[in-house]
Amino acid sequence: MENLINSTSSGDGGDGGSAVHIFMFPFLAFGHIIPFVQLSRKLLSAGTDVRITFLSAAGNVPRITTLLPTSPFFSVAPLNLPAVPGLPSGAESTNAVSADGAELLKVALDLTKPQVADLLGSHRPDIVVTDFATPWLPALAASFGIKTLPFSVFSAINMAYLTVPARRPSGCPAPTIDDLMKPPTGFPAASPLRSIPRYQAADFSYLFKSFYGRPSVFDSAAEVNGASDAMVVKTCAEMEGPYVEYLEAQYGKPVLLVGPIVPDEPPSGGGGGEELEPRWAEWLGRFAPGSVVFCSFGSETFLADSAVEELLFGLEAAGSPFLVVLNFPKGGGGGQKTPIPEGFEERVRGRGVVHTGGWVQQQLLLRHPSVGCFVCHAGLSSVLEAIVAGPQLVMLPQKGDQFLNAKLFAAEMGVGFEVERRPEDGWFGRDAVCAAIKAAMEAAAPAASQQSRVGESHRKWREFLLDEQVQGKFTVEFIDKLRQLCGK
C-alpha cells in the first residue's frame, strides 16, 4: 500500500517534524468525502503546519485529486475495496449503488482494516480524522500511538438531537418513534426545538437499525465518538454554541470547531476559470436582478412524483421566473419519462425551465444577479452556498439531517423560510410552496430586506461567513488545538 498519489515522500508524520500529519478517512459517499476535502483545503491553505494523506477507495481517487490543490503537503492513498457479495463490481461510492448497496459499502470498508493498519504502521501520522462508519479505527490507531478524531459532516444540532448517549442510554432498547419526536434528556433549554413531527421521527428511526450484522449508525457513531481523543464539528459557537456544549457534556471530551466550512468561490473570468454555461447565462440574463427562483435538491435527494407535481404547481403559482433542476434515483424515474404535469411546460414557456439533464453549476447559478431565491433540500453545504451567494432561502427538507438543518437556519438563525407540511406524513401542497417563495421574494427585494427580519438575518450571517479574518481565525485556532493534542 505504498502507492501514494501526489506525494513527495513515503510518509514521516510521526518522526517529530513540525508539521502535523493527518490521515483523512471518510465514508465512501461523496456527501461525506466532499466535506473532508473542504476541511483538507482549509487546513492546507493555512501554510506548512499541516500535511494530509487522504484515504479512499481507488475508484474515488481521480475525483478527489481534482478537488484538492497540487501540493507537496497532500497525497492520496488508494484502498483496494474487497469484493462483497451483493455489491456491484466496481462500486466504490454511494453514487453508484442503491440504499442497500450503501450498507454493503460499509461492510467492504470494514474489510479494508488490514490495509489501513499497514498505512498507519508505515506512515505513522499524528492524527486520523475519521467518519462514523469505522468503529474499529480508534483502537487500531491507538495501538500505534495515533490520535483519532471523528469529523461530523452534519450540523451540531443533528448530533445533539440524535447521536448523544442520552438518546439511547446503555442497555436500553432503541428509541421508538414517539421517543424520537422529543429531544433527549438534557437537550439545551435555550433551543426552540422542543419536538419534531412524526414523519421526521420515523425517518430518523433508520439510525437505530442494523444491516448485515454491522452496528447501527447510532451505535457506530457512539462507539467512534466515545473512543476518540476529541471530536470535530464544522460549526462555530456563534451558530451552534449550546449544542456544542451539550455534546461536550454528553461525551466528556473536547469538541474542536473548524468553523462553518464556507464553499470556495468558484473560479470565473477570462483567465481559464469556470464560467456559467452560455445557455443558463443567456436565459437568466433576460430577467431583472433578484427576480428568478432557482430550485435544486442536490444529486442524491429525490422527490416522489406527487411531490414534483406540487412543487412545480407551486412555482407556477408564485408568478416569478424559475429554473428547476430535478434528479432521479438510478434505475427508476429518470431518462425521458419525468413526472412533469401534462401541459405544464407549455404554460410556463418563456419564464420557467425544468432541467432533468443532470448536474448544473449550482454555485455559479446562485451567484448570478438575476437569482433572488433558492429553493433547496436544506443540505448543509447548499444552505451555506446560498447564504454566501446572496439569494433568499426556501427550504423543503426531504430526509435525515436536512430536517434539523432547516430548523436551525429558519427557526433559530432566522435565515430563510421552511415550507409548511402536514405533521403526520410530511405531505406538502402547492399553496405552501407558493407562500414560502412569495415570502422569500419579498425579503429579497432591496427595500424590504432592510426591514424584514429574515432579510436582516440573512445579511448578518452572510457578512459573518464572508469575513476572511473571522474564518481564518477558526482555522488557526483549530490547527493550534491539533498541535496541542499531538504534542507538537
Map residue 446 onto helix, strand or coil: helix
Q: Tens digit of pLDDT for each residue in 309-329?
A: 999 999 999 999 999 999 887
pLDDT, residue 17, reads 67
385 pLDDT more than 70: yes
* Rounded distance between C-alpha atoms, residue 15 and residue 318, angstroms: 62
Cell readout for 427 is: 405531505
| pLDDT band (50, 70, 90) for residue 334 | very low
* Rounded distance between C-alpha atoms, residue 165 and residue 247, angstroms: 9
Mean pLDDT of 54-67: 94
Q: Tens digit of pLDDT for each residue in 246-304?
A: 999 999 999 999 999 887 766 544 444 579 999 999 999 999 999 999 999 987 788 99
* Rounded distance between C-alpha atoms, residue 367 and residue 391, angstroms: 8
Kindly report the pTM of this predicted structure: 0.91
| pLDDT band (50, 70, 90) for residue 392 | very high
pLDDT, residue 380, reads 93
Q: Residues 126, 131, 219, 229: which is the catalytic one?
A: 131
* Helix ranges (DSSP H) in 126-182: 137-142, 156-162, 177-180
Q: Are 33 and 133 in contact (CB under 8 A)?
A: no
Which of left, alpha, beta for 440 (phi over 0: left; psi -120 to 50: alpha)?
alpha
* Rounded distance between C-alpha atoms, residue 161 and residue 103, angstroms: 23
DSSP state string for 338-380: --PPTTHHHHHTTTEEEE-SS---HHHHHTSTTEEEEEE---H
CB atoms inside a 10 Å sphere around CB 186:
13
Average pLDDT of the chain to the nearest whole number: 91
pLDDT, residue 12, reads 46
Q: Are 419 and 298 in contact (CB under 8 A)?
A: no
Cell readout for 361 is: 453549476
Residue 131 annotated among the catalytic residues of the structure: yes
Question: What domains, with CATH codes, occur in the chain?
Answer: 20-263+468-485 (3.40.50.2000), 278-466 (3.40.50.2000)
Taking alpha carbons only, the member of 485, 487, 482, 484 closest to residue 51 is: 482
Q: Are 415 and 461 in contact (CB under 8 A)?
A: yes
Q: Residues 21, 32, 368, 458: which is the catalytic one?
A: 32
pLDDT, residue 20, reads 94
Question: Which position has the grid cell 497525497?
Answer: 75
* Rounded distance between C-alpha atoms, residue 329 and residue 418, angstroms: 24
Mean pLDDT of 394-399: 96
